[in-house]
Amino acid sequence: MVNALAAEAAVDQGMASISDVLIIAMIVTYAVALFFFAIEAAYGRRQTLRSNRLAPAGVGAAGAGAGDDDITVNVRTEQPETSASRHVLGTVAIGVTVLGFLMNAGQIVTRGLAADRWPWGNMFEFVVAICLCTVAAFLYAAFRYRARFLGTFVLVPVILLLGIAAKWLYTEAGPVIPALHSYWIAIHVSAAIIATGGFLVSGSAAITYLVAKHTEDRRARGETVTGVAAKLPSSELLDRVSHRFIVLSFPLWTFAIIAGAVWADEAWGRFWGWDPKEVWSFITWVVYAAYLHARATAGWRGRKAAWIGIVGFACLMFNFFAVNYLFSGLHSYA
Half-sphere exposure of 237 (CA within 13 A, CB side): 26
How far is C-alpha 274 from the geometric centre of its chain's CA atoms? 26
Pairing of strands 45-49, 82-86: antiparallel
Spell out the long-range contacts of 164-167 with Cβ–Cβ below 8 A and sequence spacing 24 or more: 164/127, 165/23, 165/123, 165/124, 165/127, 165/128, 166/23, 166/24, 166/27
Give 276-312 as a DSSP string: HHHHHHHHHHHHHHHHHHIIIII---HHHHHHHHHHH
Separation of alpha carbons 25 and 58, rounded Å: 51
Q: Give yes or no for a contact between 234 and 82, defined as CB atoms under 8 angstroms apart.
A: yes
Q: Give yes or no for a contact between 49 and 82, defined as CB atoms under 8 angstroms apart.
A: yes
How far is C-alpha 112 from the geometric centre of its chain's CA atoms? 22
Q: What is the pLDDT along the chain (334 residues), one digit of tens a residue?
A: 434 434 444 789 999 999 999 999 999 999 999 999 999 888 877 777 655 443 333 333 344 444 434 433 343 444 555 667 778 999 999 999 999 999 999 999 999 999 999 998 888 999 999 999 999 999 999 998 888 889 999 999 999 999 999 999 999 988 887 777 888 889 999 999 999 999 999 999 999 999 999 998 888 888 887 776 777 888 888 999 999 999 999 999 999 999 999 998 888 888 888 888 899 999 999 999 999 999 998 788 889 999 999 999 999 999 988 887 776 666 655 4
Of 5, 19, 3, residue with least CA distance to 178:
3
| Domain definitions of the chain by residue range | 10-55+70-119+147-158, 177-334
